[in-house]
Structure 1
């Protein structure tokens, strides 16, 4: 029985990916083989030695101790693109919310409860909430991944001029992106050119507070800035200054905190980007499939800490080895198997940064002695026989 621990409520269609006969899925479970979660923070959690993989039903993995997992050979999955449509729709909503003063107008109208002649009051007071149209305006998109590409294509349909910045754009995304999106080579041009700027990049050491005083000072007076990726991407002290002097006309964030919630012209959305029934189901199903596939076949897809590795599973004995990405690792592994007359039917090796993953299909079984000797090779992190 393969044991799966859930640290959050997971959509039923995700749980249904696991067979009742083969899997045990519980919140409280001893020695789980895999962990399935959403936003639960694992940083203070003692991760059992039995854990082979963790799947996050969502794109961000800052709630998971990635470095610890990698050093232990635990594969961490996320679900890029599964919530893309939900986030895209909220970005499009924000284009209108930030332009037409809809929230302020609705709040003012509600305050009229109990007054007489409300229709007349509304007609005389509505001029205070005049806004601007988005058609013909320039939208800058930083990050043209699954979400950014969807935003770009739909914004074009709304008659906006769309500019995109992404030095790491994938071939798949490039195929999906409209040819009418204008590619920009530097952030300075995005910030100095566009009326609206939306951020869709992951939070890393390099992107932390990358939207800083210098970039914000380049913005056109009254420009709108949207953050549906991570709050830490924006230097909040520089943002406060830009809001106060009117450089940033409106800041829409899906990550409100004590620093920004009291600032003027901020629309603080309570982290609703992926909060749709469809998004939660898509993320749960995708995370469950990736976790199940890895536990049953060793194949890796959409891991944040190990390379994508996929070899058709024929039912033969398979060895998967997580190891350091250093010279002669594959030679030592195959040499050991040859020494003990273990014949290799197929093999695949891929690396990602300082770590690598080797998958080997065998023509026969492997005894525990050889398995143990593989774990003793200097640089090997974990060995699994499927």
Structure 2
């Protein structure tokens, strides 16, 4: 019986995926096999030795000490694309809010609390509406930085809305490229995209390479009227440089769901809570995807959508399944196979994958695997974690 510890409120649609005759679900376990969570921060929390996997019901994993967990042999999953439509729709709202002063107009109307004559209010609003005029997004150029699950949806949506769409993503996958409309123009470098865009929307992960991707240098190459939408991660934009550009009239505006105190009270900044994935549908999709990935790993050793382990999938071929992770160095796999041979365990099928410094293996063998064999595999130099399923 596998034990799954939950953090946060996980959608019941996801938790109901776990068969109760094989899985126990609770918010408190002293020795769980896995965690499933949303935004709960695990940094600094002790992790039981029993934990072999963590599933984040969402795309970002900033709340998980991934490097530490990798060293402990813990597989960290996320759910890329499960909340993509929810974020895409909020980007559309951001584009409209950024092109027309909808927010300012609404605030003005809400401030007319001392007026009790509808006719007089109508006359006043008719006279004042010119102060909230804006432009249309049709014909404008949208620059998309990052063409993954969310970026590609935003690109296709903007094309259908009549925008010119240009994109930059040096690491675009073949799968993502197939999903893009043929009308999306691919830029060869970031600065070219920034210089041609009326709106720029960011869809890259928060990693060292993308920290302050939008900075004083990149801001200097943008149109003075351009507006940036950041619904990805706060760290991608250098806030100090952004404010300097706004104050100098080098940038038209900033729309984000990562508020900071210094961004408040400005007419050229629109902020909201981090609500990109805050829809019932997105939460359900993320929970279902996280649950399915956890079950496939715990029951079969298969890995899909891990942020620290390679994608490794193999159909069950009978016998007993052994999975093990190891440092990605020579001779480890050969040493493990030698242990199996010495134990007269015939290999039915196997797969070996690597990702950076980490290698992961699934091996189906004929017959039972004793604790002694498991211990012998764990003792091989370079092996970091072993499971017998």
Same fold (TM over 0.5): yes
Tell me what 2:105 maps to.
105
Q: Assess if the C-alpha contact under 8 Å between 1:137 and 1:160 holds in 2.
A: yes
Q: Distance in 2 between matches of 1:262 and 1:59?
A: 30
Tell me what 2:49 maps to.
49
Matched, 1:26 2:26: yes
Matched, 1:364 2:364: no
Q: Distance in 2 between matches of 1:299 and 1:207?
A: 30
Shift of 1:337: 1.1
Shift of 1:258: 2.4
Gaps (5+ residues) in structure 2? Answer: none
**Per-residue deviation, residues 185-226 of structure 1 (Å, max 9, x unmatched):** 101101111000000000101111111101101110121100
Matched, 1:261 2:264: yes
Matched, 1:153 2:123: no
Q: Distance in 2 between matches of 1:62 and 1:263?
A: 28
Tell me what 2:333 maps to.
330
Tell me what 1:234 maps to.
237
Tell me what 2:378 maps to.
375
Give the secondary-structure state (helix, strand or coil) at the position aligned to 2:252: strand
Give the secondary-structure state (helix, strand or coil) at the position aligned to 1:79: coil
**Per-residue deviation, residues 147-177 of structure 1 (Å, max 9, x unmatched):** 1001101101111000000011111111110
Tell me what 1:351 maps to.
354
Give the TM-score, by structure 2 length: 0.98
Q: Distance in 2 between matches of 1:100 and 1:188?
A: 26
Tell me what 1:6 maps to.
6
Shift of 1:315: 4.3
Tell me what 1:293 maps to.
296
Shift of 1:106: 0.5
Shift of 1:105: 0.3
Tell me what 2:182 maps to.
179
Tell me what 2:93 maps to.
93
How many residues get paired? Answer: 386
Gaps (5+ residues) in structure 1? Answer: none
Give the TM-score, by structure 1 length: 0.98
Q: Assess if the C-alpha contact under 8 Å between 1:240 and 1:263 holds in 2.
A: no
Tell me what 1:318 maps to.
321
Q: Assess if the C-alpha contact under 8 Å between 1:208 and 1:234 holds in 2.
A: yes
Give the secondary-structure state (helix, strand or coil) at the position aligned to 1:259: helix
Shift of 1:8: 0.9
Tell me what 2:137 maps to.
134
Q: Assess if the C-alpha contact under 8 Å between 1:56 and 1:77 holds in 2.
A: yes
